[in-house]
């Protein structure tokens, strides 16, 4: 995850979490950000949730997303450089579409040519079918004129949405726990924010009540699950219950009795 994406998620988390520390946010590495407050420094690590977190190798779904994203980025750049296209362009790929790295630029250029041709003669909304595009793996193009000065390219990816489980969250915490000592050298308090992004098919999953009610083993002062969604429907981050806190609460309750 690049720094720009990390900062985007941090800002969205801050907007939706009233308890975010008041202070100066400074970009860093391990943890990703340091928030300097009057009480001390809060370190915040941002990480992403993916459906398949088994290892560092991208899943097939993540790989396909990455290829589509690169095609969209290049098509966007080509179209804006030419300056003929002012529209939202939605590229509908076949579900199992993939291509070589050497083909990305060629496909992006062809998509721009097809979109520009229809844009110049069409109405506000246009739908271009497979036989009109003639690019293997591209099912359709949707165009919607905008009032801006550039084009905006997107590649919707529809897929089955599974339900996440608490063990997936615990696996992420286990991966990050070993870095807490390193993080602690820079800050007085350490937070972990696990981001699930609805706009990425490889990340999006349904969150059952069991995730919120489960207790997790981790060494962070606070750990959160943040489900990034549309701004209008954004929900507050979910504070993950810490096993050590739960044990302390039980012990205190027994002492009081």
The boundaries of the domain holding residue 205 are 3-51+162-256
- Do 28 and 71 belong to one domain? no
pLDDT digits 0-9 by tens, 176-204: 999 999 999 999 999 999 999 887 777 88
CA atoms within 13 Å, Cβ hemisphere of 59: 12
pTM (2 d.p.) = 0.62
- Do 66 and 136 belong to one domain? yes
- Contact, 77 vs 85, CB < 8 A? no
- Contact, 71 vs 155, CB < 8 A? yes
Cβ neighbours for 237, distance < 8 A, ≥ 6 positions apart: 13, 16, 17, 193, 224, 225, 226, 227
- Do 171 and 198 belong to one domain? yes
- Do 64 and 150 belong to one domain? yes
Looking at 130, 154, 178, which one is the last position of a domain?
154
Q: How many domains does the chain have?
A: 2
Q: What is the pLDDT of residue 198?
A: 83
Q: Which of 163, 157, 124, 125 is nearest to 139 (CA)?
A: 157
- Do 120 and 95 belong to one domain? yes
With b for 16 or more beta-carbon neighbours within 10 A and e for fewer, the 173-204 pattern comes to beebeebbeebeeebebbbbbbbbbeebbbbb
- Do 145 and 83 belong to one domain? yes
- Do 144 and 186 belong to one domain? no
- Do 149 and 66 belong to one domain? yes
pLDDT digits 0-9 by tens, 222-256: 999 999 987 667 788 999 999 876 444 444 444 45
pLDDT digits 0-9 by tens, 57-86: 455 777 888 899 999 999 999 999 998 888
- Do 79 and 112 belong to one domain? yes
* Sign of the torsion angle spanned by Cα atoms 134, 137, 142, 147: negative
């Amino acid at each position: 995850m690049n720094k720009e994406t990390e900062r985007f998620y941090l800002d969205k988390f801050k907007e939706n979490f009233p308890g975010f520390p008041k202070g100066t946010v400074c970009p860093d590495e391990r943890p990703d950000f340091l928030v300097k407050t009057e009480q001390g420094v809060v370190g915040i690590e941002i990480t992403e949730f993916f459906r398949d977190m088994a290892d560092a190798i991208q899943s097939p779904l993540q790989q396909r997303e990455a290829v589509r994203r690169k095609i969209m980025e290049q098509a966007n750049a080509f179209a804006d450089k030419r300056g003929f296209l002012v529209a939202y362009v939605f590229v509908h790929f076949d579900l199992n579409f993939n291509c070589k790295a050497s083909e990305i630029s060629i496909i992006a250029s062809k998509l721009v040519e097809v979109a520009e041709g229809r844009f110049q003669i069409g109405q506000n909304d246009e739908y271009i079918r497979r036989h009109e595009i003639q690019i293997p793996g591209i099912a359709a193009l949707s165009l919607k004129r905008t009032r801006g000065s550039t084009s905006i390219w997107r590649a919707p990816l529809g897929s089955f949405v599974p339900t996440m489980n608490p063990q997936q969250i615990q696996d992420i915490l286990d991966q990050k726990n070993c870095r807490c000592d390193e993080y602690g050298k820079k800050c007085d308090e350490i937070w972990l924010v696990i981001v699930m992004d609805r706009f990425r098919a490889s990340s999006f999953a349904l969150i059952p009540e069991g995730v919120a009610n489960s207790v997790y083993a981790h060494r962070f002062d606070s750990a959160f699950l943040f489900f990034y969604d549309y701004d209008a429907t954004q929900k507050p981050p979910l504070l993950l219950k810490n096993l050590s806190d739960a044990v302390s609460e039980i012990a205190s309750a027994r002492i009081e009795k």
